[in-house]
Structure 1
Amino acid sequence: MDTPIMNVLLWILQAVLAAMFAVVATMKALLPKEKLEPGMPWTADFSSGAVRFIGLAELIGALGLVLPAATGIAPILTPLAATGLALIMALAAVTHLRREEPAAIALNAVLFIAAAVVAWGRFGPYAL
């Protein structure tokens, strides 16, 4: 694929992923676990501190998808953030597999693939 087109597609993917992770991560980081449980039943298996930690890790990853590349400051952090988010999604899929939540596993798989594409593109042929 032509380099400028692929760069635009990667930027769109980065922005969409960052927005999705930022919204959900902010909820995990700021809301009490009890308020999260109805929509995120997996939180019942984790302590409040663990849920907040996951939220903060996802929020840092969301910021890392866009800010380093956009500012030109340490742009290597963008594919590292994508790799970290892909790892979080792989671990989340394991949790949902254990809990027998196939719909959540499907979402984790989509987000994993999207993050892996960003990591591949920004580490490799379309690095910034």
Structure 2
Amino acid sequence: MNLTLWIATGLLTAVALAGGISKTFVPRARLAAQHGGEWTRDASPGFVKTLGVLELLAAVGLILPAVLDIAPVVVPVTAVCWIALMVGAMITHGRLGQSGLVLLNTVYLAIAAFIAWGRFGPWSFGG
């Protein structure tokens, strides 16, 4: 199960990294033109970049604390924060009628919940 948790964490880290890079470094107009990026039209550039930075921090918080064995409790805490972020994303995409993206966010939420459950519980880094 530990290996499964590491794989899930790696997958979610890749998702967070990709999302963070795109929101932080890709111009908002270009994001808005992409499928699923319609929400950025009405969002301020600062808000979009803030979400990108939060996703980059999530990528770091999901992996580095465990790999470096420095405050590994940050991993499940980050997973819980990711759950909150996905709830917001699901609401936003739902309002825009993007059911496919709501489903994708639900999958990401489920992966984060699995990581939080496993790392807070039976496969925590402290035990």
Q: Deviations over 1:3-32 (max 9, x none)?
A: xxx100000100111011101211101121
Tell me which residue corresponds to 1:113.
Answer: 110
Cα distance in 2 for partners of 1:67, 1:15 equals 11
Cα distance in 2 for partners of 1:113, 1:11 equals 15
Tell me which residue corresponds to 1:38.
Answer: 33
Cα distance in 1 for partners of 2:93, 2:3 equals 33
Q: 2:5 aligns with which of 2, 10, 16?
A: 10
Q: Does 1:69 align with 2:66?
A: yes
Q: May I ask how many residue pairs the two structures share in their alignment? A: 123
- Following superposition, the deviation at residue 111 of structure 1 comes to 0.3
Tell me which residue corresponds to 1:125.
Answer: 122
Give, as a single letter, the amino acid of the residue that structure 2 aligns with 1:28. Answer: K
Tell me which residue corresponds to 2:75.
Answer: 78
TM-score (norm 2): 0.94
RMSD of Structure 2 on Structure 1 (CA): 0.8
38-47 vs 103-112, greater mean Cα deviation: 38-47
- Following superposition, the deviation at residue 45 of structure 1 comes to 2.3
TM-score (norm 1): 0.93
**Runs (4+) off by over 6 Å:** none
Give, as a single letter, the amino acid of the residue that structure 2 aligns with 1:72. Answer: D
Cα distance in 1 for partners of 2:73, 2:12 equals 17
Q: Percent identity over the alignment?
A: 38
Q: Deviations over 1:61-115 (max 9, x none)?
A: 1111110011100101000111111110011001111111101100110000001
SS class of match (1:79): helix
Question: Structure 2: 5+ residue runs without aligned partners?
Answer: none
SS class of match (1:37): helix
Q: Does 1:47 align with 2:15?
A: no
